[in-house]
Amino acid sequence: MVKALKRLYAGLVYTFLYLPILLLILYSFNDSKYSGKWNGFTLKWYKALLEDSSIMSALYNTFSIAILASIIATIIGTVSAIAIFKMGPRMKTIFMNVTYLPVMNPDIVIGISLLALFTAVKMKLGFITLLLAHVTFNIPYVILAVLPKLTQLNPYLEEAALDLGATPFQAFYKVILPEIMPGIVTGALLSFTLSIDDFMVSFFTTGSGVNTLSIKIYSMTKVGISPKINALSTVLFLGIVILFILLNKREKISE
């Protein structure tokens, strides 16, 4: 009885999480412009999506920012995690507390703070400020993803590599890096996802003519959301699902 109730509860939770997404996918094929009425199957919204230059431009900006920000944040975050790991207990505690602050801060605080900084240094708001903002809020997540892998390392692994004739760079590249790679990949994927999903920080740090998908969709809410957004969301959702399937297969093969 208890087991059946647990399964029922889990089923209700997953239904609540995924039913809206399934409805969104369904209505992306709806011939009607209004989601509440089904007029038949169509692919016209996908065609209209490809022909909408403003949405395509926002999509390009979103992925450009997400890819660049995740790469830069992963590099800086990995180096920072290694530096924090090698610190003494007191300094490590101080730096970890500083690392947790951006994670716990509301996005609106980060957005306004970065806007104030860019204004103070007289930086023109646009693609560069948007990229710097995304790198800034992604770095702590990379640090928190890489640090546990460093903690799990055998403390004598690097010394053994050095004793066997490896240079410090070779010891890191050939011994340490492969061991912490799962944490680095996790941090990169998390950065990429957070960057695509972000609205609040992007809203405050972007300039005229540089829109991301979240800002574009927000601006469309004033006149009504087009079914083209349903089609776009469906494509993004299926892309993420395929990415995770490929990553899981890669992990199974490596095992």
Other beta carbons less than 10 A from residue 54's beta carbon:
11
pLDDT, position 255: 55
Query: Tokens standing for 66?
Result: 């997400």
Whole-model pTM?
0.85
Q: What are the C-alpha distances in Å from 45 to residues 29, 31, 89, 250?
A: 7, 8, 57, 34
Query: Tokens standing for 224?
Result: 């009504």
Query: Tokens standing for 61?
Result: 């900006």
Query: Tokens standing for 188?
Result: 């990169």
Could you read off the pLDDT tens digit of each residue along the chain, which spans 255 residues? 778 888 889 989 999 988 988 888 888 888 877 666 777 888 888 988 888 888 889 989 999 999 999 999 999 999 999 999 988 889 988 999 888 888 888 889 999 999 999 999 999 998 999 999 999 999 999 999 999 998 888 877 877 888 788 888 888 888 888 889 989 988 998 999 899 888 999 999 988 888 888 888 888 877 777 788 888 889 888 888 887 787 777 666 655
Domains, the chain, ordered by start: 53-224 (1.10.3720.10)
> Under a CB-based contact definition with an 8 Å cutoff, are residues 123 and 131 in contact?
no
